[in-house]
Amino acid sequence: MNKHILSFTVVILTVLIITVGCEEKAPCELDLNPSVRQTQFRADQDSITQYLSDNGIDAQTHEKGMRYVIHDKGSGSTVYPCSAIIVTFETRLMASGAIVDSASTPVGYNLPQMPYAWQFIMPLIKEGGSVTMYAPSDYGYSDYEFPNIPINSNLIIDVELVETYTPRNGSFYAR
């Protein structure tokens, strides 16, 4: 009888080890090292620095060269690179101040599907937090033209983080 219990225990332990070792990967694997067009990136950074200086804005610099101002760090859940986020926001062209996109009622996004500016900066705040991002074109929409957003546009993005969670099984609404 002890032999059967020992065999059963070994089988159960083996199954557990295999199951834990084959856990499903996180819902996303991000490459947060985008290739930037160096000449354009330097020009964008110079333009953003001038804008901040002209407007008396004291912005921090992210390790990727992105400028931002955290207005409120928040106190809720933390944003992770693979998080789903629910936000209100306003995006403006730095050159003209024209609003090109906004949501005054909360909307949800998968962070990995957002421009790099969002992916870099949103993990710096928690639920309830707010931030202004000064995005160089390569961290926004780069050299792609979108309605109301000319190519190589530097953007100002004001965001309030309402809620965040990490989707399970790649589903945005799974909690």
CATH number of the domain residue 111 falls in: 3.10.50.40
- Is 13 part of a structural domain of the chain? no
Give pLDDT, residue 87. Answer: 96
Give pLDDT, residue 12. Answer: 40
- Is 15 part of a structural domain of the chain? no
Give pLDDT, residue 33. Answer: 59
Residue 58: which domain range? 29-165
- Is 40 part of a structural domain of the chain? yes
- Is 175 part of a structural domain of the chain? no
- Is 46 part of a structural domain of the chain? yes
> Dihedrals φ, ψ of 10, to 5°?
-65, -40
Work out how many domains the chain is built from and give that number: 1
How far apart CA 130 and CA 124 sit, in angstroms, is 10
- Is 7 part of a structural domain of the chain? no
Give pLDDT, residue 1. Answer: 52
How far apart CA 131 and CA 90 sit, in angstroms, is 11
- Is 53 part of a structural domain of the chain? yes
- Is 149 part of a structural domain of the chain? yes
pLDDT in tens, the chain (175 residues): 555 544 444 334 333 333 333 333 444 555 555 667 888 989 999 999 999 999 999 999 999 889 999 999 999 888 988 899 999 999 999 999 999 999 999 999 999 889 999 999 999 999 999 999 999 998 888 878 788 889 999 999 999 999 998 766 555 543 3
- In this structure, are residues 108 and 83 in contact, taking their beta carbons and an 8 Å threshold? no
Give pLDDT, residue 38. Answer: 84
